[in-house]
Structure 1
């Protein structure tokens, strides 16, 4: 028989009663601030951030104090009230040092990234790195003539014969929220990692998306790709770097409206970590390692996470070490949504880092296309929506 744990305080109040009273006070405050025109009000996002780290057992205990059906079947110690108050009011969780330092040390919020699946060598010291593009570099490159950039694009990406597709229409949409992200080996001159940006689509992540589109077509899967110059489009709207996902969202929504057959969304990026972390050798060939980012702040989080985990597992089975893992991000250390609310089959996929070359990237793209196509056709067979 399970006995309800009590805390000895004046009046011999049960701990569950204290929990209930605490919540009654909290929601009474929220109700009052909602009824009156106060300057500062509680928002859903504030409540979400405040309670996301509170243990599940705590809420179960609160409910169980009134509904016995929800009482746990196993004996578990109740969450100490001081600990709950500390987490709720100050957003500090004693067991996690990151909650003490995250808002005080510049850049430390990066460590809020959750590792859902850890690849080889992945830990809190080797998390993905993203750096805003140096505006002066992009402005300097924009001074090149449009003809020069167009010539570069056409010369390095000659037209290819499109193989016959098994899908009658495009099933995949490839896009690039940070289209300026480039690779040092593809750029002329000695550049630092922070300068690995380019407007030329043959030198940045658009080239990766183009290669993936071709590889999917080779396997019978139709894909469309946005080659929008996000830097220029942001400038036209007088938007900054932080609004790049708002811009790419418009591109995705437009594509989905025009092609209702689109099922999968793939946003391609590259990491800013060094070569040692972003490169691996498999069967004598060098591969640019890849990884998945899943946004936690959207309705499709669970399904997109499941998709990322399954593809990651299949990649690792065929190409051990190719993946750095699956990472989860909230609004505390990223966008948190990444347009993944638009489809339950969305991916933010990062190929390699600033120091990877075309050959290494191509090997990884081919590997991903192989694994993805197997997953795709199996899913089509199960759903009965193939040709």
Structure 2
């Protein structure tokens, strides 16, 4: 009898103990929610802060947590992909250091090492972490400095029009602009050897934009090229070169408001890495490589990424090796927007590099127009068919 009494007493004690813990937990949860919802906005934990905390946690952790309720979620994970320990996850959140990735530690200690912490979504031929795009940021006075330039290429060369192509008529559906409009090329600047100083007021990336315009028009795609000198605009505003995207933003917004037909917006740049990484030889002829850069920190990221991915696959099919791939960029140290929040079909495209010449760039512009026109008219055909249905 006494044994049975002790058992009942022990069970009752356990029940009351657990009930007490549950009750205290619920009360504590309500108090925490009350505190978070009543404190002044300046002291609240923002969603951005939570995003930063959780961005360093491996995505598989969340899959494992969901899998605790629905085991079907974790069935597709590799066997070696196990739920990380609590201490490992806490270390990542507290320090941004990932135990199995030395880049997360070395990137903060070794100058220049952070460039290896990028994610290349689609790597083209020869693309790796050592030759990703480099965006130089020289003093504005160097960008605006007068320099001698030599050009032997015929800039007014006509592009043969394809009479069999459909046309957008009077509508300009593609908008091309250059946030770094004075980016130039060493082969055309005889007195310049430093890539960071390769800038010119006339012989620059805008010539590539104009060639791309001609090539797209020849494929029946109406195109508008922005002629605003962003470099001069920075000077007028008293801004620095790293604010080029901010200066270009108002120009791009004005273009969209004045032309409601714009469907695609391409910000054309040239890379600052050496020529050997930005040149492709096809049948004995050299071409400037391209690369698609997509800003991750804007609401149109997924749609813009879809466009870049589809174009990349077309390039891989028709001209293997000409495109270096698709590079998403965002987070600390990157613009992450590139004004791509203004369009659901907005891309930053790197055309060649500082060591390419205009002949190579013009050839590539013609190919980009060819590939894009195939993409555009295929999409138009699908849309027309859908409307008929």
Moved more, 231-240 or 73-82: 73-82
In angstroms, what is the RMSD of aligned CA positions?
3.2
Aligned to 1:98: 103
Quickly say closer, same or farther: Cα 1:262–1:139, change in 2 above 3 A. Answer: closer
Instruction: Give the aligned partner of residue 130 of structure 1.
Output: 135
Structural mapping, 1:205-220, within 5 Å: 205-220=205-220
Match of 2:167 in 1: 166
8 Å CA contact retained: 1:181, 1:269: yes
- Runs of 5+ in structure 2 lacking a partner? 1-13, 15-24
Tell me the equivalent position of 2:55: 52
Displacement of 1:272 in angstroms is 0.6
Structure 1 unpaired stretches of 5+: 1-10, 12-20
Cα displacement (A) at 1:162: 11
**Runs of 4+, deviation exceeding 6 Å:** 27-31, 159-165
**Bigger shift: residues 118-127 or 375-384:** 118-127
C-alpha separation in 1, matches of 2:135 and 2:124:
19
Q: Distance in 2 between matches of 1:44 and 1:258?
A: 35
Q: 1:32 to 1:156 in 2, by over 3 A?
A: farther
SS for the counterpart of 2:353 is coil
2:366 match: 366
2: CA distance between counterparts of 1:199 and 1:180? 6
Give the Cα–Cα distance (whole angstroms) in 1 for the partners of residues 71 and 277 of structure 2.
49
Query: 2:103, 2:182 → 1: CA distance?
Result: 31
Cα distance in 2 between the residues matched to 1:87 and 1:161: 55
Equivalent-residue separation in structure 2 for 1:28 and 1:317 (angstroms)? 59
Indicate the SS of the match to 1:252.
Answer: helix
Instruction: Please give the alpha-carbon distance, in whole angstroms, between the structure 2 residues aligned to 1:79 and 1:337.
Output: 32
Give the distance between the partners of 1:28 and 1:316, measured in 2 at CA: 57
Are residues 135 and 60 of structure 1, via their aligned partners in 2, closer, same or farther at CA, if it must alter by over 3 Å? same
Q: Does the aligned pair in 1 maintain the 2:329–2:336 contact within 8 Å?
A: yes
Greater shift after overlay, 109-118 or 360-369? Answer: 109-118
Could you tell me which residue of structure 1 aligns to residue 21 of structure 2? none
Deviations 1:233-291 (A, max 9, x none): 11212222222112222122111111111000100000011111111100111001111
1:77: which partner in 2? 82
Residue aligned with 2:145, SS: helix
Q: Summarize the Cα distance change of 1:64–1:313 in structure 2 as closer, same or farther, 3 Å threshold.
A: closer
